[in-house]
Chain A
Amino acid sequence: MKIINGFCAVLLNKYMSSNIRLISRLDIKGPNLIKGVHFEGLRVLGDPNDYAKKYYIDGIDEILYIDSVASLYGRNNLSDILIKTVSDTFVPITAGGGLRNIEDVTLILRSGADKVAINTAAVKKPALISEVANKFGSQCMVISIQAKKISNNKWEVYTENGREKTGNCVMEWLTKAIKLGAGEVLITSIDKDGTKNGCDKELVKAVSQVSPIPIIASGGIGNLNDIEEIIQYSKADAVAMGSILHYKDYTINEIRNFLSKKDINVRTYENY
């Protein structure tokens, strides 16, 4: 195997990008997995660790924990959930929700998260993005953007779990966050979250047109065609799924097989 300047000596015919990642999104409140609609009307579903373990066994590519009440230092905090999850779940974990500063980020990474997703604190203090990227690397710094449609092809950034308007335009904020060192973007449509009514595919498409970093699309996925569309049409690199997995509409295998048949590259999963 000879490597010349990092390029393959032999050119291969197939354009190989990374496989599309299938992510289970687990929204947490205290010790519980919850799910709301448009971030409201939260319903308790069970123990997040049980769900994470089950998704791992079923072949999920990644796990995303979002702490909806940002109870980082209270009882049953996100760090405790992470420590428990990594004891039997051997796939990457991104964690976010209420991370305010570099100390919070350090704690969460030491508890077993591989990446952190930051929304509110990054909007309040954009320098935090650079601070995280400099200390832990860009690949670790996921900029989480909660977007609400305000007119055709225009979306506004919201913080505090969709409660606070910021007046920032999503595309401008994203561009700035990338310059500051964000390595991945988690884009959640507030309008679609929890509805299972389909994603905001124009939002994700607009994001992919300005983003040189990988995109995780979240919010609204209700069926297999929604997943295909957000990948093929909107060009997402990863899909975060909540309700359709939690309510057992599809298994991860069904999703994987469906995408494979549509010629979308997914991870080959070992059925141990």
Chain B
Amino acid sequence: MKTINIIDYGLCNIHSVKSAITKLGYKPNLINNINGLPSDSKIILPGVGSFANGISRLEEMGLIGSIKKHIDNQGHFLGICLGMQMMFEKSSESKNTKGLGIIKGEIDLIPNQYMNKTHKVPHIGWNKLTIDNNFSKSIVKNDYNVYFVHSYMAKDVDSNNIIATCEYNHIEIPAIVKYKNSYGCQFHPEKSGETGLDILKSLLDI
């Protein structure tokens, strides 16, 4: 049975991610250190919480350098929600906190206005993904919806790093991003029904 390592840094819905991994037939392994893991290990960085808190937890646990090294060496990595956001350079959420800097771009508040029309932030709910043609078949077979819950989003992201987006009141939100063999999901695949589990499986099997 394939093992999926989940970084437990105290700030996430660890049970949900664990259950989803188990349901998919993998063995979840909670870790707080990635030194010594074989380079072909699969690692998930989940996350609910604020950017600054997340980064400082990773710093305290001495994980920043080792995560970067793992990704640079073509290691497999999947960041979910805050875990995805932390892959970027910085966030305006708390005084421009620096992120892992794996993908170019920054995290900023979702604009709550479009053409003088105000809409709700946080963005909470089920939206359809628009998936890059090169990936669409390998990631998801249909146009069913996935679950988002976030106030911040990735901005100024190079299109080469974007696999999927969702549209929220005319704002195009990067929903799946990639760099080398690392991936990030803004939505929660572990909370997006059977469609979400399918996506999670394809991102883990890549």
Q: Mark B114-158, 1 if CB is under 8 A from A, else 0.
A: 100111111111111010100000000011110111110101110
Known: A110-B15, A139-B151, A269-B144. A213 touches B170 (CB 8 A): no
Q: Is A184 among interface residues, defined by CB-CB distance under 8 A?
A: yes
Complex: A67 Cα to B49 Cα, angstroms: 23
Docked-complex contact A3 and B151, CB < 8 angstroms: no
What count of chain B residues pass the 8 Å CB interface test?
68
Contact residues of B between 150 and 191, Cβ < 8 Å to A: 150-151, 153, 155-157, 159, 162, 165, 167-174, 188, 190-191
Residue of B nearest to A21 (CB): B125
Known: A136-B48, A137-B50. A213 touches B120 (CB 8 A): yes
Q: Is B7 among interface residues, defined by CB-CB distance under 8 A?
A: no
The residues of A that contact B117 with a CB separation of less than 8 Å are 15
Residue from B23, B128, B155 in contact with A88 in the complex, judged by beta carbons closer than 8 Å: B23
Count of A-B contacts judged by CB separation below 8 Å: 186
Complex: A115 Cα to B124 Cα, angstroms: 11
Q: Is A7 among interface residues, defined by CB-CB distance under 8 A?
A: yes
Q: Is A61 among interface residues, defined by CB-CB distance under 8 A?
A: yes
Residue from A12, A114, A213, A270 in contact with B13 in the complex, judged by beta carbons closer than 8 Å: A114
Docked-complex contact A21 and B126, CB < 8 angstroms: yes
Known: A3-B174, A139-B150. A92 touches B188 (CB 8 A): yes
Docked-complex contact B155 and A5, CB < 8 angstroms: yes
Docked-complex contact A135 and B53, CB < 8 angstroms: yes
Residue of B nearest to A56 (CB): B193
The residues of B that contact A56 with a CB separation of less than 8 Å are 193
Q: Is B44 among interface residues, defined by CB-CB distance under 8 A?
A: no
Known: A112-B19, A270-B193. A8 touches B170 (CB 8 A): yes
Q: Is B108 among interface residues, defined by CB-CB distance under 8 A?
A: yes
Docked-complex contact A136 and B49, CB < 8 angstroms: yes
Complex: A268 Cα to B191 Cα, angstroms: 15
Q: B35-43, B61-69, B71-79, B194-202: which one contacts chain A?
A: B194-202
Q: Mark A95-137, 1 if CB is under 8 A from B, else 0.
A: 0000000000010011111110000000000000000011111
Q: A79-87, A156-164, A167-175, A247-255: which one contacts chain B?
A: A79-87
Main secondary structure of the interface of B (DSSP, over half): mixed
Residue from B13, B126, B153, B173 in contact with A113 in the complex, judged by beta carbons closer than 8 Å: B13
Q: Is A243 among interface residues, defined by CB-CB distance under 8 A?
A: no
Residue from B121, B126, B169 in contact with A15 in the complex, judged by beta carbons closer than 8 Å: B169
Residue from A19, A133, A139 in contact with B126 in the complex, judged by beta carbons closer than 8 Å: A19
Q: Is A267 among interface residues, defined by CB-CB distance under 8 A?
A: yes
Complex: A240 Cα to B206 Cα, angstroms: 38
Docked-complex contact B125 and A237, CB < 8 angstroms: yes
Tell me the smallest distance from the CB of A53 to a CB of chain B, in Å: 12
Known: A1-B165, A12-B167, A135-B50. A110 touches B151 (CB 8 A): no
| Most chain B CB inside 10 Å of its own CB: which residue of A1, A17, A83 | A1
Docked-complex contact B172 and A7, CB < 8 angstroms: yes
Q: Mark B78-98, 1 if CB is under 8 A from A, else 0.
A: 000010000000000000000
Tell me the smallest distance from the CB of A229 to a CB of chain B, in Å: 20
Q: Is A183 among interface residues, defined by CB-CB distance under 8 A?
A: yes
Complex: A132 Cα to B50 Cα, angstroms: 10
Tell me the smallest distance from the CB of B103 to a CB of chain A, in Å: 13
Q: Is A189 among interface residues, defined by CB-CB distance under 8 A?
A: no
Docked-complex contact B123 and A91, CB < 8 angstroms: no
Docked-complex contact A213 and B121, CB < 8 angstroms: yes
Q: Is B20 among interface residues, defined by CB-CB distance under 8 A?
A: yes
Tell me the smallest distance from the CB of A233 to a CB of chain B, in Å: 18
Interface residues of A (CB under 8 A from B): 1-3, 5-9, 11-12, 15-19, 21, 56, 59, 61, 82-83, 86-88, 90-92, 106, 109-115, 133-140, 183-184, 212-214, 237-238, 267-270, 272
Identify 28 residue pairs between A and B in the complex whose beta-carbon atoms are under 8 Å apart, listed by A's number: A1-B132, A5-B155, A6-B155, A6-B173, A8-B167, A15-B170, A16-B127, A17-B119, A21-B125, A56-B193, A61-B147, A82-B15, A86-B15, A90-B190, A92-B188, A109-B48, A110-B14, A113-B13, A134-B50, A137-B49, A139-B150, A140-B149, A184-B122, A212-B120, A212-B121, A213-B122, A237-B120, A237-B124
